[in-house]
């Protein structure tokens, strides 16, 4: 069963777990859900996040940092947060967003079993390509986890069809090529990519990479089911950390998310 979104556009909120610490991540996620996020993507911090821009790279560095008294954030920690969120907000969508290396080290079968036990809905492994995903998909299916794949504007139709065919939660349409990060205008490639994907799937299509304000959010709602916002949220957390007020991050995130939805509601 695909992940459903309450309104259009739905909102997928990406957070780097452990930034600035695990309890604050939990509070930020709860605030985001209560402010209107349909799905929380819990990002597993990774030491070599090649697909991420500088904002999320710095967040991973903060989450992985050892301070002499605590360990850096692990995949096990992320799954524990997911379980806590599932208990606290059973209606919210929960996705683990990771590179494959942390999952491989944890053990693919062990990870899938733990994710199912935690109440995770779906998994997005950013460097897992559909052509090499048979074992991965088999484990996810066994543990009732929804696979989510990235679809790029540069992908030919035959590859988009293959991605759509194995996706189960939603399809993540990348609005542009390159790394994550905010941008001033929404890439024109996004609308065309969504249109191409519609030929191959009835799943919800969420557009991400570069969506950073209410204008982008409303624009995505004209042609896609949901928007994924990551770097803009992570930057808000970073700003609160840098000014010595990490405890204010949950309320800062909530204000931002409510600001995204307000103009959309007024327009309808």
What are the tens digits of pLDDT across the range 235-262? 999 999 999 999 999 999 999 999 997 7
In the sheet with 122-125, reading across from the earlier edge strand, the strands are 146-148, 122-125, 93-98, 39-43, 10-16, 226-229, 205-208, 171-174, 150-151
| Structure-model confidence comparison of residues 137 and 69, the more confident one | 137
The answer to whether the predicted template modeling score (pTM) of the entire model surpasses 0.85 is: yes
Q: Which residues of the chain form beta strands (DSSP E)?
A: 10-16, 39-43, 93-98, 122-125, 146-148, 150-151, 171-174, 205-208, 226-229
d(CA 245, CA 163): 42
What pLDDT is recorded for position 98? 97
Provide the β-strand partners of residue 147. Answer: 123
CATH superfamily of 10-267: Aldolase class I (3.20.20.70)
Q: What digits encode the pLDDT tens for the residues 126-143? A: 999 999 999 999 999 999
d(CA 162, CA 156): 10
- The position carrying tokens 């991400």 is 208
27 carries an active-site annotation: no
| Structure-model confidence comparison of residues 4 and 164, the more confident one | 164
Pick the catalytic residue from 41, 77, 238, 240. 41
Q: What digits encode the pLDDT tens for the residues 161-195? A: 999 999 999 999 997 544 444 444 455 678 999 99
- Mean pLDDT lowest for which of 21-25, 96-100, 104-108, 215-219? 215-219
Whether pLDDT at 30 is above 70: yes
52 carries an active-site annotation: yes
Residue 23, exposed/middle/buried by CB under 10 A (0-12, 13-18, 19+)?
A: exposed
Closest residue by Cα to residue 39 from 189, 194, 226: 226
Q: Where are the domains of the chain?
A: 10-267
Percent residues over pLDDT 70 in the chain: 89
Pick the catalytic residue from 52, 84, 238, 240. 52
Tabulate helix, strand, coil % of the chain (nearest 5): 50, 15, 35
Q: What is the overall mean pLDDT for the chain?
A: 90
How far, rounded to the nearest angstrom, does the alpha carbon of residue 214 sit from its chain's CA centroid? 18
């Amino acid at each position: 069963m695909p992940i459903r979104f309450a309104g259009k556009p739905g909102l997928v909120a990406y957070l780097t777990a452990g930034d600035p610490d695990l309890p604050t991540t939990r509070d930020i996620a709860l605030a985001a859900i209560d402010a209107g996020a349909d799905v929380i993507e819990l990002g597993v911090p990774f030491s070599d996040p090649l697909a991420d821009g500088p904002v999320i790279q710095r967040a991973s560095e903060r989450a992985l940092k050892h301070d002499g008294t605590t360990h850096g954030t692990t995949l096990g920690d992320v799954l524990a947060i997911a379980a806590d969120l599932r208990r606290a907000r059973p209606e919210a969508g929960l996705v683990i967003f990771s590179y494959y290396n942390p999952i491989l080290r944890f053990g693919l079968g062990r990870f899938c079993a733990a994710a199912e036990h935690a109440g995770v809905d779906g998994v997005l492994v950013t460097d897992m390509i559909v052509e090499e995903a048979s074992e991965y998909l088999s484990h996810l299916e066994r543990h009732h986890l929804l696979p989510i794949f990235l679809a790029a504007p540069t992908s030919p139709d035959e590859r988009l069809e293959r991605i759509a065919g194995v996706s189960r939660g939603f399809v993540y349409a990348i609005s542009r090529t390159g790394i994550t990060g905010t941008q001033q205008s929404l890439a024109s490639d996004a609308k065309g990519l969504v249109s191409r994907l519609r030929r191959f799937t009835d799943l919800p299509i969420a557009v991400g990479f570069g969506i950073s304000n209410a204008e982008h959010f409303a624009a995505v709602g004209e042609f896609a089911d949901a928007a994924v916002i990551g770097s803009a949220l992570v930057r808000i957390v970073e700003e609160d950390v840098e000014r010595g007020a990490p405890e204010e991050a949950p309320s800062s995130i909530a204000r931002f998310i409510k600001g995204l939805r307000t103009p959309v509601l007024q327009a309808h």
